[in-house]
Structure 1
Amino acid sequence: MPDSSTMPDLESQPEKPSTPIQSPGSSTTTVALLYPETDLAKGIVGWDSQDDPANPQNFAPTQKWILLALISSFTFISPLASSMFSPAISYMAAEFHVTNETLLSFSVTIFLLGYTFGPLVLAPLSEIYGRRIIFSSANWFFVVWQIGCALAPNLTSLIIFRLLAGIGGVGCVTLGAGVIADLFPIQQRGMATSIWALGPLVGPVVGPICGGFIGEEIGWRWVFWVLLIASGTVAALIELLNRETYAPVLIRWKTQKLSKDLNRTDLRSAYDLARGTTTVPPTVSQALSQGLRRPLILLVKSPIVLLLSTYMAVVYGLLYLFFTTITSVFEDTYGFSTGLAGLAYLGIGIGFFIGLTLIALSSDRIVKTLTARNGGSFQPEMRLPTMIFFSCLLPISFFWYGWSAKYHTHWIVPIIGMLPFGIGLIGIYMPIQTYVIDCYPAYAASANAALTALRSLLGALLPLAGPKLFDSLGLGWGNSLLGFIALAFVPVPIFFNRYGQRIRERYPVNLEGNGK
Structure 2
Amino acid sequence: MAETKASLDIERPTSQRTLTPSYTGSAAKKDEETPTKEDVVEDEDPNAVGWDGPDDPNNPMNWPAKKKWSCIGALSVMTLLTPLGSSMFAPGVPDIMREFETSNRNIATFVVSVYVLGFAFGPLLAAPLSEIYGRAIVFNIANVLFLIMTVATALSQNMPMLIVFRFLMGFTGSTPVTNGSGTISDIFPVQERGKAMAVWAMGPLLGPCIGPLAGGYMVEAIGWRWVFWLIAILTGFIAALCYFAAPETYAPTLLRAKAAKLKKETGNQDLYSILDKDGLTPKQRLSNASIRPMRMLFTHLPVFILSLYVAIVYGVLYLMFSTFTFVFAQQYGFGTGTIGLAYLPTGIGMLFGTMTFGVMTDVVIKKKIAQNGKTVPEDRLPIWMTLPSGLLIVGALFWYGWAADQNVHWIVPMIGVALFCFGLMGIMMCLQTYLVDAYITYAASAVAAMTVLRSLAGAMLPLAGLSMYDDLGLGWGNSILAFLALALVPVPVIFFLYGPKIRAKTPNNLG
Q: TM-score, normalised by structure 2?
A: 0.91
Deviations 1:46-77 (A, max 9, x none): 11221111110000001000000111110001
2:439 aligns with 440
> How far apart are the structure 2 equivalents of 1:116 and 1:209?
25
Report 1:161-310 matches (<5 A). Answer: 161-273=165-277, 276-277=278-279, 282-283=282-283, 286=284, 288-310=286-308
Q: Which among 29, 34, 38 is matched to residue 40 of structure 2? A: 34
Aligned residues, how many?
A: 487
> How far apart are the structure 1 equivalents of 2:324 and 2:351?
19
> How far apart are the structure 2 equivalents of 1:369 and 1:500?
20
> How far apart are the structure 1 equivalents of 2:369 and 2:240?
41
1:139 aligns with 143
What secondary structure sits across from 1:440 in the alignment?
A: helix
Q: CA RMSD in A?
A: 2.0
> How far apart are the structure 2 equivalents of 1:90 and 1:277?
57
**Does 2:61 correspond to 1:92?**
no
> How far apart are the structure 1 equivalents of 2:380 and 2:61?
21
Deviations 1:11-51 (A, max 9, x none): 1683345xxxxxxxxxxxxxxx53678x7x71111112211
Deviations 1:288-312 (A, max 9, x none): 4221221112112211111001111
> How far apart are the structure 1 equivalents of 2:396 and 2:339?
18
2:314 aligns with 316
Q: Is this contact kept in 1: 2:15–2:41, CA < 8 A?
A: no
> How far apart are the structure 1 equivalents of 2:474 and 2:387?
28
What secondary structure sits across from 1:338 in the alignment?
A: coil
> How far apart are the structure 2 equivalents of 1:237 and 1:372?
38
Report 1:101-500 matches (<5 A). Answer: 101-273=105-277, 276-277=278-279, 282-283=282-283, 286=284, 288-373=286-371, 375-385=372-382, 386-500=385-499
Select between 260-269 and 180-189 the one with higher mean Cα deviation. 260-269
> How far apart are the structure 1 equivalents of 2:270 and 2:485?
57
> How far apart are the structure 2 equivalents of 1:434 and 1:340?
36
Q: Is this contact kept in 1: 2:155–2:225, CA < 8 A?
A: yes
**Does 2:52 correspond to 1:48?**
yes
What secondary structure sits across from 2:337 in the alignment?
A: helix
2:501 aligns with 502
2:8 aligns with none
Deviation at 1:7, TM superposition (A): 7.2
> Aligned partner of 1:118: which letter?
G
Deviation at 1:8, TM superposition (A): 6.0
Which structure has more relative contact order (CA 8 Å, sep 6+)? It is 2
> Aligned partner of 1:510: which letter?
N
> Aligned partner of 2:165: which letter?
F
Deviation at 1:189, TM superposition (A): 0.3
Q: Is this contact kept in 1: 2:14–2:50, CA < 8 A?
A: no
Give the direction of change, closer, same or farther, for the CA distance of 1:240–1:5 in structure 2 (3 Å limit): closer
Deviation at 1:220, TM superposition (A): 0.9
> How far apart are the structure 2 equivalents of 1:446 and 1:488?
27
> How far apart are the structure 2 equivalents of 1:5 and 1:295?
30
Give the direction of change, closer, same or farther, for the CA distance of 1:484–1:315 in structure 2 (3 Å limit): same
> How far apart are the structure 2 equivalents of 1:361 and 1:467?
37
> How far apart are the structure 2 equivalents of 1:343 and 1:161?
27
> Aligned partner of 2:333: which letter?
G
> How far apart are the structure 2 equivalents of 1:80 and 1:35?
42
> How far apart are the structure 2 equivalents of 1:129 and 1:493?
34
1:10 aligns with 19
Deviations 1:182-241 (A, max 9, x none): 100001001000100001111111111122111111111111111111111101221233
> How far apart are the structure 2 equivalents of 1:8 and 1:244?
17
> How far apart are the structure 2 equivalents of 1:446 and 1:405?
39
Q: Is this contact kept in 2: 1:121–1:291, CA < 8 A?
A: no
Deviation at 1:399, TM superposition (A): 1.4
Deviations 1:95-133 (A, max 9, x none): 000111111211111111111111111111111111000
Unaligned runs of 5+ in 2: 1-10, 23-33
Unaligned runs of 5+ in 1: 18-32
> How far apart are the structure 2 equivalents of 1:324 and 1:100?
14
> How far apart are the structure 2 equivalents of 1:317 and 1:294?
24
Q: Is this contact kept in 1: 2:72–2:246, CA < 8 A?
A: no
